[in-house]
Chains A and B, each alone.
Chain A
């Protein structure tokens, strides 16, 4: 039995420790907002926060997660500025990669409230989107950076 701290709640799960965190979130905890895209840590659809940092949950064995603070898209507050910016800029199309995009962007903005284009490239470059929402992702992040601190309009 493993104990996980997900979105501020403790959960007991009975899985083998090599099981990727992604599948524990999705199948044991029913947190289906975190997506399976590649299974190799390439596409970023499975991105969650572990200790505040973006992590590819599809290649993260759950056995290493005990005692760590895990936040998924469901744990990001509904009024989180990144979510609001995604709505304002109408980023989503099919929407499948967006939880991963949002988690990566939220982590970026946590550390760098006003990232440059180069910093956005570096942080977001490995989150793939087949619908091509990249221009709007960039715009949404810049817009957040331009807003007064703490404001989500």
Chain B
């Protein structure tokens, strides 16, 4: 990092223009109430990512959405580190939609794929370093001194003779200087922020109730709407009777929109009462036949036929045919809802000459373009104001822009600002799930028990098919369907991973860790089966098969050592391990579990080792590992969206439960020091959880459960006690 870098003019535009009229509106979200909208102080904006105010404030304009993963702290830390400003003076502002704020790889503004730090580090470091160089130049000119005689510290330029000027004092002068072509980045040895556990900038607003989420946005004259939605995917509206709905005081309108029938009121409660009073009938269509049981039968049959190859190494079929011994198993994982605590919502102010969208989104550009299409306005007339996200997990990164489109559709009819709110049941039932996956997997062993061959057939819906990301599907293989399986690192001479991508009426989406959320469970569970079937220790077998993968080995050994692998456990407890690489990071986890007589699994302890390369904020790493583990435990123990007669059988947290505090195990996170390129951190903590727990369940009870969630009935059945 410590090198002279030729600056790219594309991101060094002076950006008063690039920000345009959005600047003021974007200013107040999400940290303060919109009523308190204030003009930013005059100052210095050397590039699109930061502004130094005449009051010494440093505003980082953040193109990534804050959904809990910490980007409103980690990304400003990168800027502030190079700028050498006073951390106490750093503020964050959500970026408007503009090409400069596009994801550096995805081509539009997106927060996802655990990429924020990885993809933004360089340009944010340059943004900070450039501003610093210009502030130094401004001070040097003021003093008629050489820039080389000046250093910077905590928002001040300091001359070697002791003279000082603050960044606030220098802002106006710096803003008149040319942007330098070259800047020097700091030697990491001199970092004062990066690598340190800095407190989150958004914490104060989040603990005193002033943080603004999408659902909190209030606009003058705003209406609130809820939508009666089809009970079955693909159903169409037949007719509705709104007499009783309109009789609810406060209900202003009942309108048919493509998403269903919207009940519009002056407040949420009357809108909901109105919806309850509405009589709607639907043409349910073929979706009404959908059932999880039938889908399982179809997928199991498909898994017995060859799919499209995603990985071919050696000749797996031939090797399997002549293996001394074969093991075979079938695994499945259900549809899962993201279930962010803040139900989906979107507030739209649509006028003849423009449209303002207020929502917590991970895909600003796509949502803006969708709003433009639906409203008929040109995209430049649509502004997206990104609020805090009350959880994202992928659900707010929807290429279909479903929650934005439906709000614009309602706004078109209402003619006033309107906020569409989903109830928890709407949120759970309206689709966009982690796909249901069915896997058939086989291993061929030689006479000594050596793993000669691995054949893994995956069946499940493609996430990218039918979306703007469809072009990323190569030769029929959606990478997100096979990631974590096709790239298995284990040294096996013959490997075949193939894929079936059946279509279903159920909308699917990336769910925290995407394909890895299912492949890690299958691969790591089945490898454990191989270990036990051949009397190998699961850690020792992995160690042997990962000999050429030092980062996998590093976390494997660390997790095993910290967990006390191989040491005696209290009676009834078992340990299981899983190791997985995803999003550029390497994670191993050891679970310690017990099972009671009723078959209920209790997870007592999770030990996690993570190697995510160079680190910005170690506390964020720990927090995201804890978060991924709790998220993964919910999926391992409880999560399932199922269908009967085309209907989602779950609705609220009573039948789609989340792990609770009293069920949360002791969690330890150990970070491997690393100078490798940074890896992702929001998602990779999730994949190893379910296999570590399932493997621990096996050692604790002898029950090998190959279907998530690990419910009591399945555990008892696997123990032969059902």
Contacts and interface: CB of A to CB of B under 8 A. Distances in A.
A96 B268 CA distance: 19
Given A83-B208, A94-B390, A36 B215 contact: yes
A74 interface: yes
Contact of A124 (B67, B205, B211, B661): B661
A20 interface: yes
Interface stretch (B7-15, B368-376, B532-540, B619-627): B619-627
A94 B207 CA distance: 11
A12 B202 CA distance: 33
Interface string A1-38: 00000000000000110011001001100111111111
B503 interface: no
A94 B652 contact: no
A142 interface: no
Contacts of A43: 341, 424, 653
Contacts of A57: none
Interface string A56-99: 00000000000000001110101000010011001111111111
B207 A92 contact: yes
Contact of B662 (A76, A93, A122): A122
Interface in A39-65: 39-40, 42-43, 45
A95 B215 CA distance: 13
B202 A95 contact: yes
B661 A45 contact: no
B661 A95 contact: no
B424 A40 contact: yes
> Interface residue tally of chain B, by bracket?
35 or more
Interface string B650-687: 00111000111111101100000000000000000000
Given A36-B215, A87-B203, A132-B631, A96 B391 contact: yes
B199 A93 contact: no
A45 B215 CA distance: 13
Contacts of A31: 209
A80 B532 CA distance: 53
A15 B653 CA distance: 28
A76 B210 CA distance: 12
Given A33-B209, A128-B660, A92 B652 contact: no
Contact of B626 (A97, A99, A130, A135): A135
Max chain A Cβ within 10 angstroms of own Cβ: one of B269, B423, B654: B269
A46 to B, nearest CB: 11
Say what secondary structure dominates the interface of chain A. loop
Contacts of A87: 199, 203-204, 207
Nearest to A76: B208
Interface string A125-143: 1111111111111100000
Nearest to A100: B341
A96 B424 contact: no
Nearest to B663: A125
Contact of A90 (B67, B392, B619, B659): B619
Contacts of A129: 341, 630, 658, 661
A129 to B, nearest CB: 7
A134 B634 CA distance: 13
Contact of B209 (A16, A27, A34, A131): A34
Nearest to A102: B207
B69 interface: yes
A141 to B, nearest CB: 10
B652 A42 contact: yes
Contacts of B389: 94
Nearest to B66: A94
A63 B543 CA distance: 65
Nearest to A72: B209
Contacts of B664: 132, 134-135, 138
Contacts of A99: 207, 209
A30 B218 contact: yes
A30 B236 CA distance: 37
B339 interface: yes
Contacts of A30: 218
B341 A96 contact: yes
A94 B215 contact: no
Nearest to B211: A95
A135 B667 contact: yes
Contact of A130 (B249, B267, B340): B340
Interface of A: 15-16, 19-20, 23, 26-27, 30-40, 42-43, 45, 72-74, 76, 78, 83, 86-87, 90-99, 102, 120-122, 124-138
Interface of B: 66-70, 199-200, 202-213, 215-216, 218, 224, 249, 267-269, 339-343, 388-393, 421, 423-424, 619, 623, 626-631, 652-654, 658-664, 666-667
30 contacts: A15-B267, A15-B269, A20-B269, A26-B216, A31-B209, A34-B209, A35-B341, A36-B268, A39-B652, A72-B209, A74-B208, A87-B204, A87-B207, A92-B68, A92-B206, A94-B389, A95-B202, A95-B206, A95-B211, A120-B661, A121-B661, A125-B660, A125-B661, A130-B340, A132-B626, A132-B630, A132-B664, A133-B623, A133-B627, A136-B623
Given A92-B206, A96-B342, A96-B391, 8 more contacts: A32-B212, A32-B218, A37-B424, A43-B424, A92-B68, A94-B340, A126-B660, A130-B341
